Amino acid sequence: MGRVIALMDDLFFQMKLAETAKHLGVEVKVAATPEALQTLLEPPPRLLIVDLNSRSQPIAMIQKLRADKNGVRVVGFLSHVQTDLAAQARAAGCDEVMPRSAFTQNLAAILAAAKD
């Protein structure tokens, strides 16, 4: 079974993620801070989901993850109007950046892909 970890401090999205993952049989662990996230990176997960609007410096965390040569797939989500933040996330090493609405709509498929 694929492991998924997430960096997010939005309780609504944490619950939505947990509920969808449970339905699909995917193990998900959520961290609200980069420090807590570090403890979840071993063993390496199949997927890291990042709320790019998190208050815990998600861009710096993605840069550190990539500097450590961690090949985990990173999917970030944000408000559709935040084009500068989207560009920063891509430059930091985020594999996929999507608007919050698209993330929500495709959440089951994103998690299912990490299950294989």
What pLDDT, in 10s, does the model give residues 79-108?
A: 888 889 999 999 999 999 999 999 999 999
Identify the domain containing residue 9 by its residue range.
3-115
Domains: count for the chain: 1
Q: What pTM was estimated for this model as a whole?
A: 0.92
User: Is-contact 6 28, C-beta < 8 A?
Assistant: yes
- Tokens describing residue 84: 């500068």
- Tens of pLDDT along 37-70? 889 988 889 999 999 998 888 999 999 888 887 7
Mean confidence (pLDDT) of the chain: 90
Q: What value, to the nearest 5°, has the Cα angle with vertex 44 and ends 100 and 47?
A: 20
pLDDT band per the 50, 70, 90 thresholds, residue 116: low
CATH code of the domain covering residue 63: 3.40.50.2300
pLDDT at position 55 is: 87
Q: Is the pLDDT of residue 25 over 70?
A: yes
Which residues does 68 contact at the CB level (< 8 Å), separation at least 6?
none
